[in-house]
Structure 1
Amino acid sequence: MNNKILEILEYQRLKHMAVPFLASAAGQEELEQLVPQTDLKTVQTMVEETTDAADINRIVGPIPVPALANIRPQLKRLRVQASLNGTELAQIAKVLQTTLAMNNFFDRLRDDQIDLRRLYQVVEQLVTIPEVTKRLLKSVDEDGRVKDEASSKLHGLRQLIATTETEIRQALEKYTRGREAKYLSDTIITMRNDRYVIPVEAHYRSRFGGVVHDQSASGQTLYIEPQNVVEINNRLRQAQIEERQEVRRVLAELSALIAPYRKEIANNERLLGHLDFVNAKARLATKMHATLPVINDDGLINLRQARHPLIDPQRVVPNDIQLGDQYRTIVITGPNTGGKTITLKTLGLIQLMGQSGFFIPANEGSQITIFDNVFADIGDEQSLEQNLSTFSGHMENVKRILEQITERSLVLLDELGAGTDPKEGAALAMAILNQIQQVGSEVVITTHYPELKVYGFERPQTINASMEFDVDTFQPTYRLMLGVPGQSNGIAIAQRLGLASTVINDAQSLVKDDSQKLNAMIGELVEQRKQARENQERLAKLVAENQQKATDLEQKLNRFNEQRDDLYEKARMQANHQVADAKRKADRIIHHLRQMEVQRGTQIKENELIDAQGQLNALHRDPRLKRNKVLQRAKQKHNLKIGDAVKVKSYGQVGTLIAKRGKHQWEVQLGILKMAIDERDLEKVSSKVLAQAEKEQVVKPKRVRTVQTRRTSARLDLRGQRYEPAMANLSSFIDHALLNNLPSVTIIHGKGTGAIRKGTQEYLRSNPRVKSFEYASPSNGGDGATIVYFE
């Protein structure tokens, strides 16, 4: 991509908009080096990475890349076996720490089953060095200070230094707080030449002995190290020297430790910078309400409500721009200050954004293509140094453009042919367009020449366009109208501004009749286009309202059908109860008949009794109802809602519905227990039943005898499961273990990334029935399993 187009379209300003969202030096460097790409696969990869980052931003927030310094100079020094200082090691440690954090972040995304297109592959290239990272973090803090824990010797020396300093201060405080304080110019303890001293009035110098390290500017105060602290100060200095030597030794040791991993660390820095970079592009897209472009390699551009990204969103006027399908050349005409140049820049800059992997400021579904180059001649090219007029400057640019374009290029030309005789300029502009069309490039130009309006009508794959102008207010609306050439409004504007009528009439008489007719025709087209757009907007509003009404009606119909099916199901159940009651009565009658047969000796045929009983049984459920699809759907919907009192049939306990967990599961509060119960195991009861059950528990507490509804094992294996299903299985397992009065259970969660292990322990801490828990013994799984003890 040529550098001139990047300058003309202010591509650097666009990139600068992403700078506030960057945290790492590597990300900033990647942004600085970013240029539009011309390979379809490369562009698609860049856009997919931005899409991944946008999805992550929407679901869990921005990718957490902290501020990371440029560590390449440090890594180069390690190559020559140099020893790094604490700050440099801290910067490398932060890169390694961020590498671990980034792996954990994307592991959680995998556990949550968040699909990404590219970034998982990027993260897989990160190389974690846990032992080195742990050693660095243990030895150096974020500010580069070597910690006491870096070595046992350093820890001992710093303890000695602290003890010695305390001893010195205690010795000197005898002077600042005792009888000798009156001989001091100030009762403070200070430092001179890295030794503790006290300020003594000069004429009392002999009372203290020791060493004079400094004096005040007036000479009235001497900074003296008393004789009784000289030896202690010597010990302090020796300990400080040994401490510095130990710090240098530790820094050299840490430098040697990370030196073999220079390439891995450098690659980690680059990958973290890349994640920071794509995250910045995604956050910029959110800020400017940009959307994912549809990319093709067929030369098709279809921008829906495109906006210039560098103009205030509150002021910019969006436009639809199509190119490359039915026409490959657009000729935009119309008055000055109407927005023609901004339209050219909007098209060009959005195309560069898409080819750089950015989302574009246009509506969903907008298409861009892949150009091998974008050329533009926009603005005043007058040059005093080269002795070029405006016309000559433009022609120099056009000459270079014609020498470089291909059939896969986009050309943007502003005021083509301007700056010379209108007839010659128009002829030259048409010749230039002919040359561009022969090559096959796509081109958009702006012009004032009426001859080019005719050219736009006559040439194949060429269309006229204009910027809309409000004839009532004589103000531009900045709307692009494809298919309508621009109207010259110079005389009308002059009349509106109050120019003398004689001058206006004279000017109109000098304009050719053809031009007046053309302007009148264009005016009618503009008015018709305006009315068509207003009608389209009104129809679109009506369609949206009708769609909303249709959606509301459909929702009401669905609710009606659900209520009808529910009533039907209740009626069927009531009928079944009645039939069941009739069946019981019939059974009693048959039994009575059997007794009569025995008593009277009258024989009743067995097959008659069986037939009669079978007919009654058939009344219990109509086979047609069993196969009815409406009833099958109704079975799956229970008229349950949060707060209902229910009976858990398998436990015989009454509780309250707290929340719906899934399609067919509810969370039920049973006393102090919360359990996930299938709705088929629930029976809705009245609030009185619930109140009675609670009253009985309070008045007469008794031990609830639980019935084991499933074979409860004392061991649960969560290995290989996703995070959310694993936590649901854990909750259900603990509930069943408590109901079956198990004293302890074992949870096997494995080691892995630690996400399930952490989630297990967080759940156990939050469960009031868990007395304690601990890792299993090494022979039983170690920290890959947790043993739980209940109250």
Structure 2
Amino acid sequence: MTKLALLRKAETVLEWDVLLDLLAKHASSPMGADLCRSLRLADHIADAKQLLGETGEMLTLQDRKEGFSLMPFPDLHPMLNRLEKGGTLETGEFHQISVLLGQVVEVKAKLVVARASIPLLYSRADVLSNHAQLKKAIDHCIDEEGHIRPTATPELSKLMDAIRSSKERIRKRIDAMLNKPKLAELLQEQYFDLRANRYVLPVRAECRSQVPGIVHDVSASGATVFIEPRELVERNNQMKVAEIEVEREIRKILNELAQRLVPHTGSIADDLVCLAQLDCIAAKATFSRLLDAKPVGLNTEGRIQLDRARHPLLVFARLRAQAAEGGVIPNDLYLDGSVRGLVISGPNAGGKTVTLKLLGLFALMVRAGLLLPCDPGSEMGLFPEVYADIGDAQDLSRDLSSFSAHITQMIGLLRHAAPGALVLLDEPVTSTDPTEGAALAEALLLRLTEQKMKVVVTTHYPRLKVLAQSRPGFLNASAEFDVSTLSPTYRVLFGMPGGSSAIDIAGRLGMDETLLEDALDRAKQGTTSEDEQKMTRIVDELQQRQRRLEEELRRAQVAREESERSADAQRETTEQIQQAERELKKDARRKVVEEFAMAKRRIHQLLEETKKEKSSAVIKTAKQQLAAIERETTERLSDLDSRVPLDQLQAGDHVDITPLGVVGILCEPPQSNRRVRVRIGERELSVDVDQLGGRVKEASIERATDPSTMPRNTSSRVAMDLGEEVLDVRGKYADDALYEMTNFLDQASLTNASLVRVIHGHGTGKLKQVLRDYLKESPYVEGFRPGDRNEGGDGVTIVDLK
């Protein structure tokens, strides 16, 4: 057999043609379908990657909002060839060309818009032409139904008007004739008709001699004769002449359109080919989507790593059957570059041949740009040649038995197959003596692998199983058989051979039980060697152990998933509890703030009473009560869970300044100091250690640097040296300034400040007067004076506190 014949035979037994026919059904055009049935197979990895990349990009293009699809279009090559030879086209054919030109413009626009995500497909846009003017010329003459437009040329429009007028005159004349009682008696019915595009009347056969004119037709029954009355002959002749002129004008228009198309036939043909190629790629993308196929990596080392691979034809069979359950069983197939030979054994009808065909089809699909039905992250070797000997090769026409036909194919394979080829052999060298057949199969397998081919065989020969188990570069695999149910699972297990289970399969298929028992006894007493029996037992034990391990793994995975779900639920519950706690704290703080406001009102009432009693004892008692109330209320606002002891605080820690109700950052450790410096924003204060509330965390920490969390009067307070503060109320209304100064004096009193400055500016003097009037009555004030020249003059009031 020739090399080409061997390759074609491999495609046949792998059912490659069946797969391509399924692919072709998803094309929109006959040309696209033809390309699908004759897909080019890439020989180099760069070409294969480009083909796969185009399919992947088409999936991306189809998933865009505007999508991508082609309207059906015919093969226009015969029309274009006719134009090139000087011929013309019919109106419908011109319309088909116009539709094609319009689709070219739309396709190119879509490719241009999405060019960033589809560079491979966009490169095809350069081939597409823009024949907008040519399409416009055709559409001006031909309408959407493929008919000539009456307005195609002024002359045609004039002739069409003439015909229309002629018809109207003839019909008026006929109406007048039908209204004559004498003629009406001669007619079969009161109507007129057209014969050979000439107006005629249906005259009764026995009366035809009474109607002078030309007979054009007779009804099937012979009862009616269609006569063109003599008085209509000239009018019909005039109409006929006008119609001939119209036909001549239409032919002239079509010839002119043909002449205009001739220079562009080459580019239109290129557009046609490009659209067909895009149609083929779109069919690949749709095909891949139906298979749930994914892009895979490619390599030239013969490495195969397929996760959850599924036979594409079986997937389509399930889709056709619309099976909701019992889908195609996936398999993980792993062959690294060091494995040159894979021996698959196991029971009949267990899926060995399906695995062979899957590998062969996958090898062809990646070369044709078809994505593979497997999980993402899989990898497939690129095999430039794929050979397969599957099924019965008996050929009576050539007087070849099954054995002779297989051996002939193996001879051709050894002669023509090149290194790097993928060779798939289904039970090689059978239909002969088992001992000699096994030896010949082993020799053949060794020779093929020595010639650097990747060989996958199915077998029942123990000799080949031993070879795969003991020789480097070979690997055993088995089609799993469930002893408990006496049925195959259609799963492939790597690393161990499989038993044939012929008697079990026969029983499952319904063979007589007594016959099966007899076969078992004969098998035990037969010529099967002790080593073979021992291997069979070992294989069965290994498969049972494999199933137990997989079941334990499945249970572990289920347990892990349940644990993860429980952990997620616990995290969600914890988050809900924390949220509830935050809400409770927030509500508690709100209530405390309300209490704090109430305390402030009590304080102001106390201050008003103190104004009336200016004795030092009363003032001292009021100050103590004020400090106690504010300290108690402020501490209730603090989050006690986030505090640490004062003796553990260090420079840089966040602290709560209890009297002021703000958060600051320590500038020095408090352990050996009576007063420490605390930074609030960009300012510093000197604060007694016993007025520190401890470290504050989380949300409270943010308050230390967020000016919005400061008390209201801090916006106009400036920290000065120890014992001195400044209040700036310039530009404020008198009521607002008085309110701020009242709070300011409250805070200054709590911090034991001895001297404060109030900056009010000069202005009209009203603000200064209001503030100084209040200072005269304030129980905190020992005295006050205008500022010196270097202190701001009369725009500043210096206040001495008690």
Instruction: Return the TM-score normalized by structure 1.
Output: 0.69
Q: Cα gap change, 1:168/1:119 in structure 2, threshold over 3 Å: closer, same or farther? A: same
Letter in 2 for 1:447: T
Q: Cα gap change, 1:286/1:493 in structure 2, threshold over 3 Å: closer, same or farther? A: closer
Rounded to whole Å, the distance in 2 between the matches of 1:633 and 1:34 is 67
Q: Is 1:35 the counterpart of 2:50 in the alignment?
A: no
Q: Which is worse superposed, 401-410 or 56-65?
A: 56-65
Letter in 2 for 1:168: I
* Structure 1 residue 153, shift from structure 2 partner: 2.4
Who is 1:129 aligned against? 131
Q: Which is worse superposed, 396-405 or 501-510?
A: 501-510
Who is 1:277 aligned against? 280
Q: Is 1:72 the counterpart of 2:77 in the alignment?
A: yes
Unpaired runs of 5+ residues, structure 1, are 587-614, 635-791
Who is 2:159 aligned against? 157
Q: Is the 8 A contact 1:296 1:368 kept in 2?
A: yes
Who is 2:261 aligned against? 258
Letter in 2 for 1:156: K
Q: Which SS does the other structure have where 1:379 is aligned?
A: coil
Q: Which SS does the other structure have where 1:149 is aligned?
A: coil
Specify which of 366, 377, 390 is matched with residue 354 of structure 1.
366
Unpaired runs of 5+ residues, structure 2, are 319-325, 604-656, 666-678, 682-695, 704-802
Q: Is 1:296 the counterpart of 2:299 in the alignment?
A: yes
Q: Is 1:475 the counterpart of 2:490 in the alignment?
A: no
Report how many residues are paired. Answer: 613
Letter in 2 for 1:221: T
Who is 2:347 aligned against? 335
Who is 2:444 aligned against? 432
Q: Cα gap change, 1:277/1:576 in structure 2, threshold over 3 Å: closer, same or farther? A: farther
Specify which of 526, 534, 545 is matched with residue 543 of structure 2.
526
Letter in 1 for 2:133: E
Q: Cα gap change, 1:222/1:400 in structure 2, threshold over 3 Å: closer, same or farther? A: same
Q: Cα gap change, 1:500/1:277 in structure 2, threshold over 3 Å: closer, same or farther? A: closer
Listed as ranges, the matches of 1:590-605 within 5 Å are none
Q: Cα gap change, 1:453/1:147 in structure 2, threshold over 3 Å: closer, same or farther? A: same
Q: Is the 8 A contact 2:348 2:500 kept in 1?
A: no
Listed as ranges, the matches of 1:194-213 within 5 Å are 194-205=197-208, 207-213=210-216
Rounded to whole Å, the distance in 2 between the matches of 1:548 and 1:232 is 93
Q: Is the 8 A contact 2:112 2:122 kept in 1?
A: no
Residues 725-752 of structure 1 show CA distances to partners (whole Å, capped at 9, x for unaligned) of: xxxxxxxxxxxxxxxxxxxxxxxxxxxx
Residues 265-308 of structure 1 show CA distances to partners (whole Å, capped at 9, x for unaligned) of: 11111121122111111111122222222222221111222222
Specify which of 307, 314, 331 is matched with residue 319 of structure 1.
331
Who is 2:523 aligned against? 507
Who is 1:306 aligned against? 309
Specify which of 408, 416, 424 is matched with residue 396 of structure 1.
408
Rounded to whole Å, the distance in 2 between the matches of 1:633 and 1:124 is 60
Q: Cα gap change, 1:334/1:216 in structure 2, threshold over 3 Å: closer, same or farther? A: closer
Specify which of 219, 227, 231 is matched with residue 228 of structure 1.
231
Who is 2:173 aligned against? 171
Specify which of 460, 465, 471 is matched with residue 453 of structure 1.
465
Q: Cα gap change, 1:468/1:148 in structure 2, threshold over 3 Å: closer, same or farther? A: same
Q: Cα gap change, 1:277/1:494 in structure 2, threshold over 3 Å: closer, same or farther? A: closer
Specify which of 169, 184, 192 is matched with residue 181 of structure 1.
184
* Structure 1 residue 625, shift from structure 2 partner: 10
Q: Which is worse superposed, 380-389 or 562-571?
A: 562-571
Q: Cα gap change, 1:329/1:128 in structure 2, threshold over 3 Å: closer, same or farther? A: same
Q: Is the 8 A contact 2:348 2:505 kept in 1?
A: no
* Structure 1 residue 138, shift from structure 2 partner: 2.8
Who is 1:104 aligned against? 109
Q: Is the 8 A contact 1:569 1:631 kept in 2?
A: no
Rounded to whole Å, the distance in 1 between the matches of 2:353 and 2:112 is 49
Rounded to whole Å, the distance in 2 between the matches of 1:628 and 1:137 is 78
Q: Which SS does the other structure have where 2:412 is aligned?
A: helix
* Structure 1 residue 95, shift from structure 2 partner: 1.0
Who is 1:116 aligned against? 118
Rounded to whole Å, the distance in 2 between the matches of 1:194 and 1:183 is 23
* Structure 1 residue 567, shift from structure 2 partner: 9.7
Listed as ranges, the matches of 1:642-791 within 5 Å are none
Who is 2:454 aligned against? 442
Who is 2:63 aligned against? 58
Q: Cα gap change, 1:562/1:466 in structure 2, threshold over 3 Å: closer, same or farther? A: same
Q: Cα gap change, 1:403/1:541 in structure 2, threshold over 3 Å: closer, same or farther? A: farther
Letter in 2 for 1:120: Y
Q: Cα gap change, 1:544/1:173 in structure 2, threshold over 3 Å: closer, same or farther? A: farther
Q: Is the 8 A contact 1:464 1:482 kept in 2?
A: yes
Who is 2:394 aligned against? 382
* Structure 1 residue 61, shift from structure 2 partner: 6.8
Q: Is 1:12 the counterpart of 2:17 in the alignment?
A: yes
Q: Is the 8 A contact 2:503 2:519 kept in 1?
A: no
Q: Which SS does the other structure have where 2:313 is aligned?
A: coil
Letter in 2 for 1:316: V
Letter in 1 for 2:215: V
* Structure 1 residue 319, shift from structure 2 partner: 1.6
Q: Which SS does the other structure have where 2:391 is aligned?
A: coil
Q: Is 1:419 the counterpart of 2:431 in the alignment?
A: yes
Letter in 2 for 1:514: D
Q: CA RMSD in A?
A: 3.9
Q: Cα gap change, 1:628/1:36 in structure 2, threshold over 3 Å: closer, same or farther? A: farther
Q: Which is worse superposed, 145-154 or 261-270?
A: 145-154
Who is 2:557 aligned against? 540
Q: Cα gap change, 1:553/1:292 in structure 2, threshold over 3 Å: closer, same or farther? A: farther
Rounded to whole Å, the distance in 2 between the matches of 1:79 and 1:575 is 96
Rounded to whole Å, the distance in 2 between the matches of 1:417 and 1:188 is 86
Letter in 2 for 1:91: Q
Q: Which SS does the other structure have where 2:418 is aligned?
A: coil
Residues 396-430 of structure 1 show CA distances to partners (whole Å, capped at 9, x for unaligned) of: 11111112223311000111121111111111111
Choose 1 or 2 for highest CA Rg. 2
Q: Which is worse superposed, 491-500 or 70-79?
A: 491-500
Rounded to whole Å, the distance in 1 between the matches of 2:475 and 2:255 is 72
Q: Which is worse superposed, 122-131 or 101-110?
A: 101-110
Q: Is the 8 A contact 1:323 1:329 kept in 2?
A: no
Rounded to whole Å, the distance in 2 between the matches of 1:556 and 1:20 is 54
Q: Is the 8 A contact 1:491 1:508 kept in 2?
A: no
